[in-house]
Amino acid sequence: MLLIYKSTSEGKLEKRANITNNSWLHLVKPTSKEIDHMVKELAIPRDFIIDSLDIDERPRIEERDGAVLIVIHVPYDQLDVKNSNDDVKYRTIPMGIIHTKDHMITICNEEIPFMKDIFNSRVKDFATHMKTRNTLKILNVTAQAYIRFLATIEHEIALAEKELAKSYRNREMYTLLYLNESLIYMVTSLKQMKFTMQKILHGDYIKLYEDDADILDDVLIELAQAYEITEINQDNLNNVMDAYANVVQNNVNRVLKLLAAFTIILSVPMLIASIYGMNVPLPFQDLPNAFWGVMTFTFVLTALCAFVFYKKQYFAR
């Protein structure tokens, strides 16, 4: 899908049917025909578009043939995954931003909600002729989106912790595993995003004015904050999972100890009953109260064994 926008004098973005100077072109899951049209019309390297659509592409910046490609990672909520215990719900996906002399192109394999907000003028002060300013604002909005996603993940981790405190089910464990994978995606992307932003700040890939440098500094601060929050949540989640594993192991050991104690205790009456069940002459078998004597002896010996295990706290929770 190819969308063409141009800003009006009121600062709003309007859709256009044709490409004109200072247009903003937005590609979402472009077809081969649309890619060919873009390459021919704007004279940009084809691999700039292909790389932006590659799910494994890392954040980077590259300049070639008069065009500049900036690949960033944006947080993405997989709508086909209903719950965090089903699969990894929160991921990061690449989005390409290309600057040419007269145009700006954004490319992504998925529809990003905050890009919709930008094109619907919910995010103010976008002018299509200000490519650098628009790019920095996209980066700022992206950093804020990371922080919102991290707040959602933090909330889901807290809910999973509460459920784990009540019962030990695989459902909560899978939730923690998938949320941990989401945090791995984000911490990796944020680290590479910070490096890319540093290259923009200190390099000459795009021209930065004084106000632009201030905005980029704000973006770096937001990304650093999001990175720190991600690391804290990741450490917290790892601690929770380690504690959960230790609790489960401790419970297994306690159950095994309890079963071992009961096995030993019950083996005492079984042993005595087996001996007196043999078809051979046995001590005290001719006494009138032999049965009750054997039963009393068995009970006392079993109770003594149970008392020993009780003193060793085999029955303690």
The answer to whether 207 and 132 have CB atoms below 8 angstroms apart is yes
Size of the chain in residues: 317
Least Cα distance to 118 among 2, 7, 213 occurs for 7
List strands edge to edge, sheet with 23-28. 13-16, 2-7, 23-28, 103-108, 90-99, 67-77, 60-64
Query: Which two structure tokens, joined as six digits, stand for 300?
Result: 């006392």
Structure confidence at residue 169 (pLDDT) = 65
Calculate the average pLDDT of the chain: 81
Structure confidence at residue 47 (pLDDT) = 87
pLDDT tens-digit readout, 206-215: 777 667 777 7
Residue owning tokens 């070639």: 64
26 three-state secondary structure = strand
Interaxial angle between packed helices 32-42 and 46-53, expressed in degrees from 0 to 180 and rounded to the nearest 10: 140
- H/E element, 123: none
Structure confidence at residue 171 (pLDDT) = 74
Q: Which of 27-41, 173-187, 263-277, 283-297 has the lowest mean pLDDT?
A: 283-297
302 confidence band (pLDDT: 50, 70, 90): confident
Q: Give the gyration radius of the chain's Cα atoms.
A: 34
Which residues are registered as beta bridge partners of 25?
4, 105
Domains of the chain: 2-249 (3.30.460.20), 250-311 (1.20.58)
Query: Hey, which of 57-71, 109-123, 172-186 has the most confident mean pLDDT?
Result: 57-71
Does the structure show a pLDDT above 80 at 127?
no
Q: What is the dihedral of CA 133, 135, 136, 138, to 10 degrees?
A: 120
Write the CA distances from 171 to 84, 120, 151, integer angstroms. Answer: 9, 39, 21
pLDDT tens-digit readout, 140-159: 888 888 888 888 888 888 88
